[in-house]
């Protein structure tokens, strides 16, 4: 009596891999996720640019997937058709020309790169367009390892102190909050006091570097009220991971009330780039001078 051949282990691994892929795909279909891993949906774009950015992102992935399917299909076809047969003991032809294929190898990549370049250049021109007059201007200053916000038109500021401990409860809650009025065009003016940082609000699907000695700007219109998380997207030192801030998109009335709170707290005027990373702009006189002295000693 013949013994039953055990199922190959590789078949079990293949089934396990397939089950994992199916589980991940089903998890992505959760009703709480309206657009995959991207924020918002087509009816509620977080900003005036998130729809454009999403379309560019998805279109690029579709193009990459189509190219991948073509390449994989050609590889599998070559493996299947030109595999070595049992009764074939001769070497295949080692040198062969196929002019139409070689032309395709040159022309097709040029077309692909040209199409991707066209759509990327078109969308980036719109995303970075600053020709319109902003409703308000906010200067964001990055520092190791926190943020300062100058509300330029209202001549007030808000400031954050750098995080002392990474991962402790309340680190995010203690970080500064940037208030933005919904439906109004905001121009961000980005500066750095020390090293390279990057201003990033993931829900806005856009970030821009903050370079010492150089000012970057961009405009955006927040369209959905809510609370969002911002962070630094450029490795900037040991406390980089806790260099966080909050963003609140609110009504104009709530925005004005917050500006009045900052003014009542004595935070009127604008913060410059002369402060060091240990500064506390709420300390005046000897306290501020001592902080600058400690930094110089270090």
User: CA angle, 254 as apex, 271 and 156 as ends, to 5°?
Assistant: 15
CA gap 256, 67 in Å, rounded: 51
pTM tops 0.75, yes or no: no
Q: Is 263 in a helix, a strand, or coil? A: helix
Spell 48-79 as b/e; 16+ CB within 10 A means b.
bbbbbbbebeeeeeeeeeeeeeeeeeeeeeee
Provide the 10 A C-beta neighbour count for residue 226. Answer: 15
38 within 8 A of 54, measured Cβ to Cβ? yes
pLDDT tens-place values along the chain, 298 residues long: 444 544 555 555 555 555 555 554 544 443 334 566 666 666 778 898 988 998 898 889 999 999 899 889 989 998 888 887 888 777 777 777 788 888 888 998 899 899 999 999 999 999 998 999 999 999 999 998 889 999 999 999 998 877 654 445 456 667 889 999 999 999 999 999 889 999 999 999 999 999 988 999 999 999 999 999 999 999 988 888 888 999 999 999 999 999 999 999 899 888 888 765 555 544 433 333 443 444 444 3
Sign of the dihedral defined by the CA atoms of residues 68, 70, 73, 74, in that order:
negative
Structural domains in the chain, CATH included, are 42-84+95-127 (1.10.287), 136-273 (2.60.40.420)
Residues contacting 148, CB < 8 A, separation 6+: 140, 141, 157, 158, 159, 160, 176, 271, 281
């Amino acid at each position: 009596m013949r013994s039953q051949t055990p199922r190959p282990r590789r078949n079990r691994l293949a089934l396990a891999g397939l089950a994992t892929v199916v589980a991940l795909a089903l998890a992505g279909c959760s009703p709480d996720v309206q657009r995959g891993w991207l924020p918002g949906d087509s009816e509620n774009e977080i900003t005036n640019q998130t729809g454009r950015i999403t379309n560019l992102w998805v279109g690029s992935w579709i193009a990459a997937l189509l190219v991948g399917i073509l390449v994989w299909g050609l590889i599998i076809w070559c493996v299947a058709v030109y595999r070595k047969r049992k009764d074939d003991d001769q070497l295949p032809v080692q040198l062969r020309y196929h002019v139409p294929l070689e032309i395709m190898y040159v022309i097709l990549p040029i077309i692909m790169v040209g199409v991707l370049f066209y759509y990327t250049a078109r969308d980036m021109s719109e995303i970075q367009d600053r020709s319109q007059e902003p409703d308000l201007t906010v200067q964001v200053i990055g520092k190791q390892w926190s943020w300062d916000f100058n509300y330029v038109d209202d001549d007030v500021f808000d400031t954050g102190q750098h995080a002392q401990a990474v991962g402790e409860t309340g680190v995010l809650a203690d970080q500064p909050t940037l208030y933005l009025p919904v439906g109004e065009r905001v121009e961000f003016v980005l500066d750095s006091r020390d090293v390279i940082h990057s201003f990033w609000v993931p829900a806005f699907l856009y970030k821009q570097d903050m370079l010492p000695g150089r000012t970057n700007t961009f405009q955006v219109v927040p369209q959905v009220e809510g609370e969002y998380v911002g962070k630094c997207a450029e490795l900037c030192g040991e406390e980089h991971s806790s260099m966080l801030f909050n963003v609140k998109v609110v009504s104009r009335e709530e925005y004005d009330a917050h500006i009045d709170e900052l003014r009542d707290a004595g935070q009127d005027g604008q913060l410059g780039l002369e402060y060091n990373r240990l500064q506390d702009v709420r300390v005046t006189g000897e306290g501020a001078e001592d902080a600058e002295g400690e930094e110089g000693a270090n």
